[in-house]
Amino acid sequence: MKSLGKHLIIEFFQCDSTILNDLRTLENHLLAAVQLSGATIIQPLLHQFSPHGITGVVVVAESHFAVHTWPEYGYCALDIFTCGDSVDGHIALNYLKENLKAANTSVMEVKRGVLDLPQSQIKHKPDQDAA
């Protein structure tokens, strides 16, 4: 059976706290990771908390990339949820691990939308002619 999507649930530990608390730097890294993965950016939205921490999402045509940081702990939680076969979330994961300077990483991959249908009947976007 084929799934509609893939969800990477990622934890980064012992990251660079300065990067985790810098909205522009974090947004630039997140957008670069999305582009490297092959996803199509629709819109980013990130929010800076006081005194520290950032949460945000980049909506992509294929689903979303989400980030939540706790700079005071050097911790970052990421979700990379994509549908289809054209996006490689692992490329984004590796880029972010390097650029957020994560010393330790935990990754869980979950298939989303596993349907009991033949692979030939599972389409990520409906045919335009079918409408």
Catalytic residues: 63, 68, 83
Count the neighbouring beta carbons within 10 Å of the beta carbon of residue 7: 19
Closest CA to 25 of 99, 85, 77: 99
Q: Which two tokens stand for residue 54?
A: 């950032």
Contact 60, 43 (CB under 8 A): no
Pairing between strand 75-83 and 104-114? unpaired
Q: For tokens 């893939």, name the residue.
A: 6
Q: For residues 14, 18, 21 and 23, what is the CA-based torsion angle, rounded to 10 degrees?
A: -120
Contact 42, 107 (CB under 8 A): no
